[in-house]
Amino acid sequence: LLNFNQKRGYYQLRGEEGEENPNKLVEFYALKVTNVEATGDKKTKDEIWYNVFLENGWIYRRTSKAPLDWAGKIKEFIVTTDLNDDGTVKTDKDGREKRSFRAPAPDDWTLLKKKTEFDIGKSGKTVGTYIYDTLLQTPNQKIKGKLVTVIERKFYKAELETILKTQKQFHTELQDEKLYADCLEELYEHNEAHRTNIGKKDFSHLFLNDIIFYQRPLKSKKSLISDCKFESRTYVKEGKTETEPIKSIAKSHPLFQELRLWKLVQDLRIIQKEKQIDGKFYSDVNVTYEYFKTVEDQTNFFDWLNGRKEIDQKAFLKYFKLNEAKFRWNYVEDKVYPCNETRSQILSRLAKIENVPDGFLNTVKEEALWHILYSVEDKNEIQKALKTFGLKNGLGDDFVEQFSKFPPFKKEYGSYSAKAIKKLLPLMRMGKYWNENTIYPQTKERIDKILSGEFDDKIRTRVREKAINLQDINDFQGLPEWLVSYIVYDRHSEDGNALVWKKPKDIEDYLRYVFKQHELRNPIVEQVITETLRVVKDIWAQYGNGAEKFFDEIHIELGREMKNPADKRKQMTEQINENENTNLRIKALLMEMMNDREFENIRPYSPSQQEILKIYEEGALNAATEIPEEILKIAKQAQPTSSDLTKYKLWLQQKYKSPYTGRVIPLNKLFTPAYEIEHIIPQSRYFDDSFSNKVICEAAVNKDKDNCLAMEYILNEGGKVIEIGFGESVT
């Protein structure tokens, strides 16, 4: 029993299978090579394509630098076969079976695992019998790491099950029902539900599932989920009334998905890149009203989005039959945004099931099905839950088969609780989705008072001002999220329960008695917060003499990065490292240029010159369609060599052009008054000081452009000749 306990391994939950894919069959094969044929095609200068013919008729295509002398040899392969949903092998357009080969090194982990499992399965023996019979034939055989490497725990579990069932025949204790009941009473004294659940089982089940191969469920981390800023619950504990916030909703929950979708419908805009109005050209004109003329147009658009997993600009414009060359949306152009991911995934699987009635997926069924898929993590338990759901809703066995392979939803959470969303959604819905009767009673009372003008100290003046154009109850539909928040909760982004300290000692008391160590699970963040609070306390004591209300407000802000998941933090770290490398490279490049007599007015430690060179570098890298690999390598280094910098300098010199005139900007004149940083969208119209809004151009052109948008300037002044000094002019 101890031996099996040591080898029990880890029971993978749904989604932890790694490479496992229901539509891919991964198998081990040891096959004899009958012939090797060079095709004459080359992958690279040195690599040639070969066709390797195997004894079972398969052809393995691969490249090799050296000639393949495999004919007559037995080679080991990991073969991946693409399967259809019904288990048959997929074929390409020519009718050939879709199969890929991998001939890994003999010590490859996957190869060893698949080979061992293949050998044990082929023998028809349990692991122990397989090892025992091998030792009888080869006494010197090393077992660990040689004969048996890593294999699935099911092999050991099947063997132990066979042993226990066999042992039961020879030991009366293992057949004693009273003894079994006494054991359950002893083990599960306070867990009556589990006692009842396995009461009809036997010792074999107890040893196998509850002891030897038992794996405790992962501890709940519900305490780490963000609190809803709007809703809380009140309860009585030891005679005192306690209040605690309700936890935020999972992002995959149908309610959150709907809220996000209505927000998307209200926020998306159609922008015409160039529009002529009264004889003048204007760029980036909002023309959304031309395509959303009625509420029905918006609800039809919502219906379309509701069945999609995601949306990008191309799909958005295609819906309205608009050309990407002339129109864009108001979101990032090359980014994909989520729609109703949960619903689209469920619908795609329901489409593969037979006899599903039209309109089957209503809101009640969708939420019930989501709950099963979200909360059940065990692979066997989910099949039971799905079977019950299927029987209840008249669905066949193919429903269980399809949905048991459903990938687990990510454990990500929104900003609001389900209770808050149920209050917000009725006022965000519109048209056929809007129903006055679904509005929460307290919200209805507030709306009545806003409409009638009746005084209520719980409705602030700012809320009445924001809702001044809403004259009738029917106007309270299709409202933006921020306005709905004010109508329902009297606030939107404002904090509802900000701490107020009246004197410096309050901060010290908070740190000593309220703030719990390890509460944030990040010692660096805890250190930053406690140090910040102590600095505020000391400033208050020294400069405000500890006087009450000396400061109106104290803001303590925590970097949002700490709330991001590991993969996003990793991405941010990589970006920071890249930026740091760029800064060091730019300084090194300026130092190199300072030593070159060709360049004028170089100051390597000037932040403005560093910024100019960064824009110049970015422009050169973006302007080139194909960048040589050696240049790309230098562009990522922090400290390139002197020869690298010279090469890079020459490359930059050739590539960067003024975006308004098309003339090359000489690198040696870059820091002279002849060239300036120009904002594409002028700061007077929209303050954006990021690199993406900056270019370098001739100083005279920058002055002439003034506060026009780049596109407006080009459309209205195209062809104009401008004097740039020294008798030179540009078009």
Amino acid making up residue 198? I
CA distances 643 to 589, 590, 670, Å, are 11, 14, 21
Nearest 10 degrees: Cα torsion 72, 75, 77, 83: 20
Mean pLDDT of 533-550: 87
- According to DSSP, residue 197 is labeled H
Lowest mean pLDDT among 303-312, 415-424, 510-519: 510-519
Mean pLDDT of 47-57: 88
What pLDDT, on the 0 to 100 scale, is given for residue 370? 96
What is the number of other CB atoms lying within 10 angstroms of the CB of residue 68? 17
108 compared with 563, residue with greater pLDDT: 108
Residue 22's pLDDT band (cuts 50, 70, 90): low
- Distance in angstroms (rounded) separating the CA atoms of residues 545 and 214: 62
Mean pLDDT of 702-708: 90
pLDDT score of 726 more than 70: yes
Mean pLDDT of 607-625: 82
What pLDDT, on the 0 to 100 scale, is given for residue 564? 72
296 compared with 544, residue with greater pLDDT: 296
What pLDDT, on the 0 to 100 scale, is given for residue 326? 92
221 compared with 267, residue with greater pLDDT: 267
pLDDT score of 498 more than 70: no
Lowest mean pLDDT among 148-162, 287-301, 544-558, 593-607: 544-558
Lowest mean pLDDT among 284-293, 440-449, 718-727: 718-727
Residue 625's pLDDT band (cuts 50, 70, 90): low
pLDDT score of 561 more than 70: no
Query: Which of 53-67, 552-566, 654-668 reaches the highest mean pLDDT?
Result: 53-67
What pLDDT, on the 0 to 100 scale, is given for residue 57? 87
- Identify the helix (H) or strand (E) that includes residue 589: helix 566-594
The three-point CA angle 499-505-507 to 5° equals 35
- 10 Å CB burial of residue 316 (0-12, 13-18, 19+) is buried
- Identify the helix (H) or strand (E) that includes residue 48: strand 48-54
Residue 624's pLDDT band (cuts 50, 70, 90): low
Encode 480-499: b = buried (16+ Cβ within 10 Å), e = exposed.
ebebbbbbbbbebeeeeeee
Residue 607's pLDDT band (cuts 50, 70, 90): confident
| 276 backbone φψ class: left, alpha, beta (φ>0; ψ -120 to 50) | beta
What is the number of other CB atoms lying within 10 angstroms of the CB of residue 266? 16
Three-class HEC string of 646-701: HHHHHHHHHHCECCCCCCECCHHHCCCCCEEEEECCCCCCCCCCCHHHEEEEEHHH
The distance from CA 141 to its chain's CA centroid, rounded to whole angstroms, is 48
Q: Where are the alpha helices (DSSP H) in 124-252?
A: 127-137, 153-168, 177-187, 192-198, 203-205
Residue 15's pLDDT band (cuts 50, 70, 90): low
Residue 539's pLDDT band (cuts 50, 70, 90): confident
Amino acid making up residue 457? D
What pLDDT, on the 0 to 100 scale, is given for residue 17? 57
Q: Are 639 and 570 in contact (CB under 8 A)?
A: no
Residue 496's pLDDT band (cuts 50, 70, 90): low
- Identify the helix (H) or strand (E) that includes residue 371: helix 363-375
Q: If we measure between CA atoms, which residue out of 648, 697, 658 comes closest to residue 677?
A: 697
721 compared with 495, residue with greater pLDDT: 721
Query: Which of 145-154, 193-202, 459-468 reaches the highest mean pLDDT?
Result: 193-202
Lowest mean pLDDT among 43-57, 247-261, 372-386, 696-710: 43-57
What pLDDT, on the 0 to 100 scale, is given for residue 20? 52
- Percent pLDDT > 70 in the chain is 95
Lowest mean pLDDT among 31-45, 306-320, 362-376: 31-45
- Distance in angstroms (rounded) separating the CA atoms of residues 336 and 318: 15
Average pLDDT score, the chain = 86
Which residue's structure tokens are 């990589």? 574
Query: Which of 28-32, 107-111, 642-646 reaches the highest mean pLDDT?
Result: 28-32
For the segment 679-693, what is each residue's pLDDT rounded down to a tens digit?
Answer: 888 888 877 877 778
What pLDDT, on the 0 to 100 scale, is given for residue 19? 47
- Distance in angstroms (rounded) separating the CA atoms of residues 633 and 624: 15
Which residue's structure tokens are 């019904």? 86
Mean pLDDT of 566-570: 80
pLDDT score of 503 more than 50: yes
pLDDT score of 700 more than 60: yes
For the segment 288-326, what is each residue's pLDDT rounded down to a tens digit?
Answer: 999 999 999 999 999 999 999 999 999 999 999 999 999
262 compared with 91, residue with greater pLDDT: 262
pLDDT score of 345 more than 50: yes
